[in-house]
Structure 1
Amino acid sequence: MSDTGKAEGAFRTIGEVTAATGVAPHVLRYWESRFPELRPVTRAGNRRYYRPADVALVERIQRLLGTEGYTVKGVQKLLASEGRGVQQPASAPNAALAAMPALRAIRDRLQRALDAA
């Protein structure tokens, strides 16, 4: 059981997803309109119930947008390519991971320059 008192596989309400992820309800509803992969079950009164896979997708979208710097359009393309089974070349993820420290260093230098200005 999770900290909400529900079983791990139980459906979550929009309020519970908001509490667990920190993503506001209006943002969740917006993401539902932008990402066809995010489709919670709707019941009477248009109440949303999120499956564990939906919650995991919300967390992933949040990470991609907030931490990894993707745009909404970029996340849409990424999720669409995964849904179609498009595989990236094996070297592409490794090259991107290898470039991360250099990109972070550039970002940090730019931030210091902006702070100094």
Structure 2
Amino acid sequence: MSARPASNEKKVPEAFRTIGELSAELDIPQHRLRYWESRITQLRPVQRAGQRRYYRPEDVALVRRIHLLLSEEGYTIDGVRRVLDQEAGGTPATSRTDRSAKRDAAPSAAKLRAVRALLAKALADDLG
């Protein structure tokens, strides 16, 4: 019998994850996880024979944090590195106001549609 769980079973939270399992669990491509490892020094999964990666629970939590900072907070890889350094006691991170300004610098489609609607209304008011 194999010690591996069947594909429909979930591992316990304390179990190590392979890159494939973590990729599937978080819906992040494996190449992106490897890229993050190359750029973010705090992310260092255990590597066994054949360079097979095993992510510890703290690595999984860090990958989730990195993904959140990149996809929802609008940080760049360098920005994520600075935030993680600051959290580890390094250089100061960007303030919340700076992060908000950064997010506003790259407006979402919904924000752009709202601005377009306001401009269209203002133009209609001027003409009418």
TM-score bucket (shorter structure): 0.7 to 0.9
Take 2:80 and 2:39, find their aligned partners in 1: how far apart are those partners? 10
Question: Paired residue for 1:7?
Answer: 12
State the number of aligned residues: 104
Which protein, 1 or 2, shows the higher relative CO under an 8 Å CA cutoff with sep ≥ 6? 1
Q: 1:80 to 1:62 in 2, by over 3 A?
A: same
User: Per-residue deviation at 1:18?
Assistant: 0.5
**What per-residue deviation string (whole Å, max 9, x for no partner) do you get for residues 54-81 of structure 1?**
1111111111111110111111111111
Q: Deviation of residue 85 (structure 1)?
A: 5.6
1:30-45 to structure 2, matched below 5 A, reads 30-45=35-50
**Distance across 2 between alignment mates of 1:84 and 1:24:** 30
Question: Unaligned stretches of 5+ in structure 2?
Answer: 1-7, 120-128
Q: Quick one: distance in 1 between partners of 2:14 and 2:84?
A: 23
Distance 2:30 2:88 in 1: 25
Determine helix, strand or coil for the equivalent of 1:20.
helix
Q: What is the TM-score when the length of structure 1 is the normalising length? A: 0.73
- Identify the match of residue 54 of structure 2 among 40, 44, 49: 49
User: Which structure 1 residue ranges, 4+ long, deviate > 3 Å from structure 2?
Assistant: 85-88, 106-110, 113-116
Does 2:26 match 1:21?
Answer: yes
1:65 partner SS: helix
Identity, % of aligned positions: 47
Give the aligned partner of residue 111 of structure 1: 112
What's the TM-score, normalizing by structure 2?
0.67
Q: Distance in 2 between matches of 1:77 and 1:87?
A: 8
Deviation at 1:4, TM superposition (A): 3.9
Larger radius of gyration: 2
C-alpha distance 77-86 of structure 1, shift in aligned 2 (>3 A)? closer
